């Protein structure tokens, strides 16, 4: 569904439309590059793949991670934002309660919002629940 909106085109996407995810990721990456977050930087692994990002996290002050730099890969599924990204640290082996020994991040907010029969303590409200909006696409 397309609607005219001034000089651009306002595009409305469904949750299953993978083009929405690509446009949203481009917008989010552009915003992070324009307005960096302290202690956190991002870039694409390959300029032709918007779904795979390099991430660098600086260890926060006054924590055991202070002074450390923690590179990771953030992989977004084609169904993003309907499905959550997966994050894997490139240098596994450091201890963190939400990081497996192989570097994979395991935290409820990055789990799909579905019932998990193996983890009854995790509430549905703690899982991935995207809020979708409109993305403006310029011709």
CB 111 within 8 A of CB 84: yes
**In Å, how far from its chain's centre is CA 103?**
16
Annotated active-site residue in 9, 12, 33, 106:
106
Determine the 3-state secondary structure of 26 from DSSP: helix
- Spatial separation of the C-alpha atoms in residues 75 and 52, rounded to whole Å: 5
> CB 61: neighbour CB atoms within 10 A?
9
Residue that has been written with the tokens 């552009």 in this structure: 30
User: Is 106 among the residues known to form the active site?
Assistant: yes
Which active-site residues does the annotation give? 106
């Amino acid at each position: 569904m397309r609607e005219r909106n001034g000089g651009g085109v306002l595009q409305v996407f469904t949750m299953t439309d993978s083009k929405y995810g690509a446009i949203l990721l481009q917008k989010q990456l552009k915003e992070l590059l324009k307005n960096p977050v302290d202690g956190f930087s991002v870039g694409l692994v390959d300029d032709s793949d918007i779904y795979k990002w390099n991430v660098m996290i600086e260890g926060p002050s006054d924590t055991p991670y202070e002074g450390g730099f923690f590179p990771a890969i953030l992989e977004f599924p084609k169904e993003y934002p309907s499905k959550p990204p997966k994050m894997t640290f490139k240098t596994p082996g450091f201890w963190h309660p939400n990081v497996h020994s192989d570097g994979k991040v395991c935290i409820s907010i990055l789990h799909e919002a579905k019932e998990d029969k193996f983890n009854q303590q995790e509430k549905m409200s703690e899982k991935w629940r995207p809020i979708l909006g409109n993305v403006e696409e310029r011709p």
